[in-house]
Structure 1
Amino acid sequence: MYLLTAEEMQNLDRTAINELGIPGVVLMENAGLQVVKEIKEMIGEPRGKTITVFAGKGNNGGDGFVVARHLLNAGAEVKVLMFADINDITGDAKVNLNILQSMGHNPYSIVNPNSLNIVKLSMVYTDLVVDAIFGTGFRGAVSEHVGKIIEIINSSGNPVIAVDIPSGLEANTGQTHGTCIKASRTVTFAQAKIGLVIQEGPLYAGELIVADISIPPNLLKSQYIKRFMTTPETVRNLMPYRALDGHKGSYGKILVVGGSQGLSGAAAMASMAALRAGAGLVTLAVPDGIHSLMEVKLTEVMTKPLPETEEMTISLKATGAVLEMMEAYDVLALGPGISTNESTVEFVREILPQLGKPAVIDADGLNALVDSPDILKTCQAVPVLTPHPGEMARLLGIKINEVQNNRVEVALEAAVRWNAVIVLKGFRTVIAGPDGTVYINPTGNPGMASGGIGDILTGVIAGLIGQGLTSIEAAVAGVYFHGLAGDIAALEKGMISLVAGDVMDCLPKSIKVTINEEV
């Protein structure tokens, strides 16, 4: 699924109108019909129902006029409350307003403060609210008067369907700067707008429907859009076919390097997750002092001891041994439970430029690079970094709120700067590639805010790279599988009690349902 900015959508509209000759009024008609279709899905047949349409003065309001007309024709009682004087309406919106008036239906202007009582009364006798106030061009905060009306709508308890985007939400940023319509369902047109799926967007959009309004999808090719929402189809298309004559060597050899005294579980989970993701062979290399523990703890994963420090962490002296081992492996997962011991940090910084194979770097593997992140530029293969917002902030030398307020931009900046794939974890995890490609992941839930969950993601991504996926393909698919496993686990266990082991247990089902694997 493509994710467009408001400007990109406007360009798409203009191309459809000017190059294909599709009149704007036709696009508006199609948009209104799609909203009516969803209204019928929400409340059944409109006949006998009361529906209030809030319309602005732009094209979004014009869509609302189309909706009102078709609902009237379907036998509904429709009230159109307009945030403008009739003489302020122009263009295609004016065409549809004129049709509405010719049918004997006159909208009521609510531009004055004394209109609040009319809005309150309307909300008492309404089965559904249609939000057609502001479109995708909206920026900033709504006015005080409009904000009061939105508050009345939100507190009414009535279902709300938003036309293209909830009024008060920015299409490009997903941010609100004050009051915003809280929709039950949003019908957006042609393609999804990025603000609907990031930041506060999902909290206000409700169920998101992407509706066809007759703009040919191939017009997007001329736009060079590189932003996407990950879907099950996206992931299915990335997964390799398993041949009947395949064997364990066919599906990747993964080396996980991590663990330290007190942090052995992180490395163990990353290793098992790589196997659950489909890797053929996984070896866990840990400090010598905890090696015997790992041999007992892990059955399916092979283990190797490494030179260690006095604190029982991986020593700089392990560099040669790991590089030699990597000659027989396809990908390195580096960081889970590795610690920030000085010698261990030097080991991380020393090994990356010499590796020659893809690496998935997480946890203290990332923290080891805080003072010298540009080491990543020297990697011979594109690495995958999986920072949470705090780690991302430390790597870039900025504040966490700067990361969280600009998640897409920050992830892209880091990906380009370090020639890496960035997996910026959190609500709607962002995956950014060095070529400017961005994916937003829809799976996952708050129950996954638990220790060890990130270690599982590291292993899953590494396991997928081992099966032949590129770094960004593995990140996209891995994040989706990981989040869906968390969603499945939350259904079974609840979010509050969710632990990393629950997510691990649900990885097989997550992968199976996504790729429609038959057994």
Structure 2
Amino acid sequence: MKVVTGTTMQEIDRRTIEEFGVPGLALMENAGTGCVAAITELCDSTGRAVVVAGKGNNGGDGFVVARLLRENGWQVATFVIARKEEIGGDARVNLERLGDGAVTFCSEPGMLGHYVAALREADVIVDALLGTGLRSEVTGVYAEAISLVNAAGPPVLAVDIPSGIDAATGKVLGTAVRADLTVTFALAKCGHVMYPGVTFTGSLKVVDIGIPGEVTDAAPGLEFLEADAIRPLLRKRERTSHKGSFGHCLIIAGSTGKTGAAAMAANSAVRSGAGLVTLAVPASLSPILEAKTTEAMTLPLPDGDLGYLVNADQAFIDNALEGKNAVAVGPGLSLHPETVQLVRRLVSTVSLPLVLDADGLNAVAGEPEVLLHKKSPALILTPHPGEMARLAGCSVTDVERGRTTAAREFAEYHGVYVILKGARTIIAAPDGRLAINGSGNPGMASGGMGDVLAGILVALLAQGYEPFTACRIGVFLHGHAADMVAAEMGEIGMAAVDVQERLPYACNQLIQ
């Protein structure tokens, strides 16, 4: 599903009206009609509706809803949080069509509060206060109206987007309506699917209002990853396949106290379909990893019983790259100075598809310019917000304020793929393509989940998936497996190994 920002949607509307000759009034009428159809599905019969409208086009959509509901036999009260003279354009036309007698203007503080009983007694409240063009924080009478709508009790249908939600980021701009159902037009907006906006949106319904497909197709947007988007990307296996058909990946990982990270990355690569997996680890830890991994092969790297990788391991790794299809570096590696130097050299010398995770990312964060000298044709970084902040030289607050922007700008500048983890993980390609993941749950907030993801990604690269495709499949599959675990045992106490062991089941469910 394609999602766009509010700014992009405004440009889509402009092109539709100016270049394709579709009247704005027609778009507004179709928008209101779509909302009324959704209300009819939501409510078993006609009843009492309250429309709370603003002065802009979102309010104009609300006026259409009020008029059409009345024509369908509803009792409708419409409250406008503005003065009549503030309303212009297409919204004013639809206000006039509704008629002054059907509207109560509540432009001053406290005025809407006189009608709390009407809000509480409604069968549905229609939020048509503020649309996708909102940029600043909600204050004054609009904030008061949102508070009264949220406190009223009846189901709330939001027109286009819940009032107060930033359509580009999902951020709450001061306060926001908590909708049970949101009816949006032509395309979903980023604010509908990104947190915290997703929690205010309720169920989301996208309706066609007559915007030409060539306009929406040409508009820049992000791909929201759902099961239907992933299914066509997964390849079924030929009956004559053998282990050589699905690649050989090398995972460079592990240090004293962090053997679990290395094991989970290797075992997850096996569970994600890699034909062969080799796990390169400090030699002193190899016996431990051989006990923790059965299908994966181990490659002991001389470490002088130090428990971490050293500079001298470069030559051994170079030899190990022969015959491999993809490499992952980082799970549980440690940040010993020699290990850090080794990681940086690997980034500048490995010419295979490469996943850089965990301590691999932290090693590069001290010298991010090494990414500009990479040899890999496809370098995937998997930072959480803290790691992203260290890589980009900014604060975690800066990253979280604009997750999409942070991932896109870093990916484009450094020529890498960025998987910015978190609720609604962002995937950014160096050519500007963007995706937002729709799978996963809070049970994944536990140690080791990133190691599982690293194993999934390197396995997909080894199987020959195009890098952006591997990123999208990997991130969604990771969250989907976790969703299956949550459905079986709940979110609390979910372990990374639980997700690792559900990977084949998740893949099987998606590929059918």
- TM-score, normalisation: structure 2: 0.96
> Cα RMSD (Å) of the superposition?
1.6
Q: 1:228 aligns with which of 212, 219, 223?
A: 223
Deviation at 1:424, TM superposition (A): 0.6
| Mapped partners of 1:217, 1:490: distance in 2 | 38
| Mapped partners of 1:280, 1:388: distance in 2 | 29
| Mapped partners of 1:490, 1:511: distance in 2 | 16
| Mapped partners of 2:91, 2:66: distance in 1 | 13
1:254-293 equivalences in 2 (<5 Å): 254-293=249-288
Partner of 1:83: 81
Q: 2:204 aligns with which of 203, 208, 222?
A: 208
Q: What is the DSSP-based 3-state SS (H/G/I as helix, E as strand, rest coil) of the residue aligned with 2:303?
A: coil
Deviation at 1:309, TM superposition (A): 4.6
Cα–Cα, structure 1 residues 368 and 71, in superposed 2: closer, same or farther, change >3 Å?
same
AA aligned opposite 1:16: T
1:170-319 equivalences in 2 (<5 Å): 170-223=166-219, 225-319=220-314
Q: Deviations over 1:188-243 (max 9, x none)?
A: 111111222224211221222222112122223433x1422112232223223422
Cα–Cα, structure 1 residues 437 and 443, in superposed 2: closer, same or farther, change >3 Å?
same
Q: 2:147 aligns with which of 146, 151, 161?
A: 151
Deviation at 1:446, TM superposition (A): 1.2
| Mapped partners of 1:133, 1:513: distance in 2 | 42
| Mapped partners of 2:306, 2:385: distance in 1 | 28
Partner of 1:364: 359
2:251–2:280 contact (8 Å) kept in structure 1: yes
| Mapped partners of 1:86, 1:94: distance in 2 | 8
1:129–1:161 contact (8 Å) kept in structure 2: yes
| Mapped partners of 2:427, 2:228: distance in 1 | 17
1:25–1:92 contact (8 Å) kept in structure 2: yes
- Structure 2: unaligned runs, 5 residues or longer: none
1:456-475 equivalences in 2 (<5 Å): 456-475=452-471
Partner of 1:383: 379
Deviation at 1:431, TM superposition (A): 0.6
AA aligned opposite 2:184: T
| Mapped partners of 1:177, 1:18: distance in 2 | 31
Matched, 1:439 2:435: yes
1:119–1:152 contact (8 Å) kept in structure 2: no
2:283–2:305 contact (8 Å) kept in structure 1: no
Task: Out of 368-377 and 505-514, give the one that drifted further.
Answer: 505-514
| Mapped partners of 1:465, 1:44: distance in 2 | 51
1:119–1:149 contact (8 Å) kept in structure 2: no
Partner of 1:34: 34
Task: Out of 89-98 and 422-431, give the one that drifted further.
Answer: 89-98
| Mapped partners of 1:341, 1:128: distance in 2 | 61
Deviation at 1:18, TM superposition (A): 2.1
AA aligned opposite 1:300: E
Q: 2:419 aligns with which of 412, 423, 437?
A: 423
Cα–Cα, structure 1 residues 216 and 276, in superposed 2: closer, same or farther, change >3 Å?
farther
- TM-score, normalisation: structure 1: 0.95
2:284–2:305 contact (8 Å) kept in structure 1: no
Deviation at 1:310, TM superposition (A): 4.2
| Mapped partners of 2:395, 2:15: distance in 1 | 40
| Mapped partners of 1:278, 1:499: distance in 2 | 21
Q: What is the DSSP-based 3-state SS (H/G/I as helix, E as strand, rest coil) of the residue aligned with 1:351?
A: helix
1:35–1:67 contact (8 Å) kept in structure 2: yes
Q: 1:355 aligns with which of 337, 350, 362?
A: 350
Partner of 1:497: 493
AA aligned opposite 1:112: E
Identical positions, percent: 42
Deviation at 1:253, TM superposition (A): 1.0
2:417–2:427 contact (8 Å) kept in structure 1: yes
1:450–1:498 contact (8 Å) kept in structure 2: yes
Cα–Cα, structure 1 residues 289 and 310, in superposed 2: closer, same or farther, change >3 Å?
closer
Deviation at 1:385, TM superposition (A): 0.4
AA aligned opposite 1:295: E
1:55–1:65 contact (8 Å) kept in structure 2: yes
Q: What is the DSSP-based 3-state SS (H/G/I as helix, E as strand, rest coil) of the residue aligned with 2:158?
A: strand
- Structure 1: unaligned runs, 5 residues or longer: none
| Mapped partners of 1:197, 1:461: distance in 2 | 24
AA aligned opposite 2:27: L
| Mapped partners of 1:377, 1:131: distance in 2 | 49
Partner of 2:336: 341
Q: What is the DSSP-based 3-state SS (H/G/I as helix, E as strand, rest coil) of the residue aligned with 1:178?
A: coil
| Mapped partners of 1:80, 1:126: distance in 2 | 12
AA aligned opposite 2:33: L
Q: Deviations over 1:412-432 (max 9, x none)?
A: 121122211001101111111
Q: 2:388 aligns with which of 386, 392, 413?
A: 392
AA aligned opposite 2:61: D
1:240–1:468 contact (8 Å) kept in structure 2: no
Partner of 1:161: 157
Cα–Cα, structure 1 residues 469 and 511, in superposed 2: closer, same or farther, change >3 Å?
same
Q: What is the DSSP-based 3-state SS (H/G/I as helix, E as strand, rest coil) of the residue aligned with 1:506?
A: helix
| Mapped partners of 1:311, 1:462: distance in 2 | 27
Task: Out of 433-442 and 2-11, give the one that drifted further.
Answer: 2-11
| Mapped partners of 2:61, 2:167: distance in 1 | 17
- Give the aligned length: 511
